[in-house]
Structure 1
Amino acid sequence: MPSERLDAEWVRSWWEQADAALTKLMQSFFPAHGFPPAHNAVLLATDDSHRATDTLVDLTPIPSDLTTLYWVISEASLPDVDSGYFIHSPATAAEHFREYGPAPIEGESIAVLFASDGGGHLFAIGDSGQVWKSTTASWSDDFKVAAPSLQEFPEQLGRRIANQP
């Protein structure tokens, strides 16, 4: 289990850096690719997303780092970063948990799906604090470690945004 918990100020700082990198990416996207970008954004949390986070917390023993993340950002839509990355809103995470239950990850007593990529692979955070990625586009298939902590997951996204041609 990670020794340090995710800090809200760190998430806010990450959002500022990601927002600046996305602005730069969107300005260079058309010349680099020959077509306009889709809408790419990391959205800050709102009163509605805070209520949805509270609902998710009431529904399941959500890992505290995910609660911290959702308290600062509500979701991310990055269709033009690699094959696409999406941090689902807390309302979507709750809806998926109700419908499908926890991700079946061996060694995790609870794992909440919270993100996906453009290929349909899913990301879950377990009670260990690790972030897992499905090996196929399936809710019930195997998962492998994608990041040792929830802090590392947005750091990876930030690097992908900054390094996108």
Structure 2
Amino acid sequence: MALAKFTGSFHGTHGFPPDQNAVMLATDDSHRATGGLVDLTPIPSDLTALYWVISEALLPGIDSGYFIHSPATAAEHFREYGSVPVDGEAIVFASDGGGHLFAISDSGHIWKSTTASWFDDFEVAASSLQEFLEHISQRITSRP
């Protein structure tokens, strides 16, 4: 609902139409992809629960953009790059429009890369997946 309100008022506020913002619900295929990701590496239960409800989110019109990757994309990236060595291990599950990566660690913390790289430093962006999602929600609802 908030995303629809934000998208509807975007043009009047900014003078140009928003990019395509969408949240895709999970499907049987994305559930299988989540199972495949779990087979590759243990992932925090919060991420599994998220992927059980949504398969991905494309929010290019929010700040510089937020993109929650599908479980198939997260698995593909894990196979190609491995985990991020922070707080034990962390798996990349999202990015922003600037190429910064978001990873969730075994502790549930969300880490953001300091550059658009898999191999540079990461810093804590949120204490939990819920806090990370609430931050995005606040960015959506705080728009006129």
Same-fold call, TM cutoff 0.5: yes
Counterpart of 2:89 in structure 1 is: 110
Secondary structure at the residue paired with 1:113?
strand
What is the TM-score when the length of structure 1 is the normalising length? Answer: 0.85
Counterpart of 2:35 in structure 1 is: 54
In the alignment, the residues of structure 2 paired with residue 137 and residue 30 of structure 1 have an alpha-carbon distance, to the nearest angstrom, of: 29
The one-letter code sitting in structure 1 at the alignment partner of 2:112 is K
For 1:11-160, what aligned pairs fall within 5 Å after superposition? 20-105=1-86, 108-160=87-139
Task: Report Cα offsets for 1:82-139 as digits up to 9, x if no partner.
Answer: 110000000000000000000122xx22210000011110000000110000011110
The one-letter code sitting in structure 2 at the alignment partner of 1:40 is N
Task: Say how many residue pairs are matched.
Answer: 144
The one-letter code sitting in structure 1 at the alignment partner of 2:137 is G
Q: Report runs of 4+ in structure 1 exceeding 4 Å deviation.
A: none
State the identity %.
73
What is the TM-score when the length of structure 2 is the normalising length? Answer: 0.97
Between 151-160 and 27-36, the greater mean CA deviation after superposition: 27-36
Cα RMSD for the two superposed structures: 0.9
The one-letter code sitting in structure 2 at the alignment partner of 1:110 is E
In the alignment, the residues of structure 1 paired with residue 143 and residue 122 of structure 2 have an alpha-carbon distance, to the nearest angstrom, of: 26
